[in-house]
Amino acid sequence: MKINKTHIWTLIALVATAAVYRVIPNRPLGFAPQIAIALFGGAIFKEKRWAFALPLLSMFISDVLYQVLYNAGYSSMKGFYEGQWENYLLFAGITLLGFTMKKKTVASVAAYSVTAPTLFYLVSNFMVWLGGGIDITTNLPLSKSFAGLMQSYVQALPFYYGGLLSTILFSAVLFGGYYFFTRHQTITANA
């Protein structure tokens, strides 16, 4: 996709909307558009900087908003925390995964929409466990055993379900919207 002024304003609106949505209180755990945005950026944009900028900017803006809300006493969740760079690295990895999507069919978008949050869940929770994550039932560090790793995965299941459902939904919106937009442009150009 070649970027023009209209695309830039659309992308700014998309990034801002996704960032604000992510900080809405009481949304389902893990239900956010950033994984779908990373896939979409990687699959659609020929200019790699735009592909990476979409999810990373959206994450950064929402992290700033979380930190402002935390500092003001309106949120118990910090925007910036130790190990956060790992999430940014994972979103860059999902963008790279999007680069491998050669055909933008319903089947491939669906397959990638299941694969991306699954990989995010598996890798991020492995890193939480490896970094000494906390068992939410005991408030003690997870054991450095296979059982501790499995506990990390079990604790994160609500985030996985939210991430899976939101990635499927937002991918359908993004890729579907892109399909109809490009189809409309093609029909208009041929008319």
pLDDT tens, residue by residue, 48-104 = 988 999 889 988 988 898 899 889 988 888 888 888 889 999 999 999 999 999 999
Percent of the chain's residues with pLDDT above 70: 92
DSSP class of residue 29 equals T
pLDDT of residue 58: 87
Sorted by sequence, the CB contacts under 8 Å of residue 92 that are 6+ apart come out as 38, 52, 55, 56
pLDDT of residue 6: 67
User: Is the overall model pTM greater than 0.75, yes or no?
Assistant: yes
pLDDT of residue 35: 95
Give, in order, the Cα–Cα distances in Å from 142 to each of 81, 137, 151, 157, 175.
19, 10, 7, 16, 39
Which stretch of 28-32, 79-83, 133-137, 186-190 has the lowest confidence by average pLDDT? 186-190
pLDDT of residue 171: 95
What's the token pair of residue 38? 């990373």
pLDDT of residue 191: 58
Q: Residue 71 is part of which domain span?
A: 5-190
**Mean of the pLDDT values across residues 99-116?**
96
How many structural domains does the chain have? Answer: 1
Q: Are 30 and 163 in contact (CB under 8 A)?
A: yes
pLDDT category at 12 given cuts 50, 70, 90 is confident
Distance of alpha carbon 82 from alpha carbon 132, whole angstroms = 12
pLDDT category at 2 given cuts 50, 70, 90 is low
